[in-house]
Amino acid sequence: MFEMLKKIFLMMVGQTKVEIPKIDKSYLGKLPSSSRVKPIKFGIIHCVSAWRVNPDKRNDIDEIVKIFKDYKVSAHALIARDGTIFELVSDDRVAYHAGKSFWRGKSSLNKWSLGVELVGAYNGPYLSEGFTDEQYDSLILWIKDKSDSYNLSVEDWIGHEMVSPGRKQDPGPKFSWYRLRQNFSNKEE
């Protein structure tokens, strides 16, 4: 994956000042998952914050991983505020991020998807913090890499709020879909 990111980075040099994100595998394989049977058809974008548990450490990766463990949930990647990509579950395993969900004729989307979590809030007192430039840069590189690997288009990347309407609200009003889509269209030019 790193080689692919490097290639994408080199393609982008001159356009933006995107730096290769740091990849951290220290939590890889330590969260719940199951073997993958279905092909990857979608990517689901989420956000997570520990503000309810510990406001001062709301963006702390250990705190967030602890929440995942407590609730027996997981995702393939977690993107920290500084843009570091924490790989949590390998792509060949199903992660538990979407729960009850529906999209384009499919249900229970965990088995059909990759899940990525941005550290940040979708509601509450810290909502205005939004997401950082570093997070967008890392997310876009990660999504491009996975889209190449699994033949996904930008339309295949959706929010948890879209697949579990009324039940989930993330990544919420501060997430810029425009920024994601704009970066994909740049690649076509």
List the x/- string, 168-187, binding to Zn ion by CB under 5 A. Answer: --x-----------------
Closer of 46 and 58 to Zn ion (Cβ): 46
Q: Interface with Zn ion includes 134 (CB under 5 A)?
A: no
- Of 137 and 170, the one with the shorter C-beta distance to Zn ion is 170
User: In 4-112, where do the E strands start and end?
Assistant: 23-24, 33-35, 42-48, 77-79, 85-87, 93-95, 102-103, 106-107
Q: Which of 76, 144, 146, 160 binds Zn ion (CB under 5 A)?
A: 160
SS3 125: coil
Q: Does 76 bind Zn ion (CB under 5 A)?
A: no
Q: Which of 104, 117, 95 is nearest to 155 (CA)?
A: 104
Q: With respect to Zn ion, which residue has the nearer C-beta, 46 or 146?
A: 46
Tally of helices (H runs) and strands (E runs) in the chain: 5, 10
Catalytic one of 19, 63, 87, 117 = 117
Give me the residues that bind Zn ion (CB under 5 A), please: 46, 160, 170
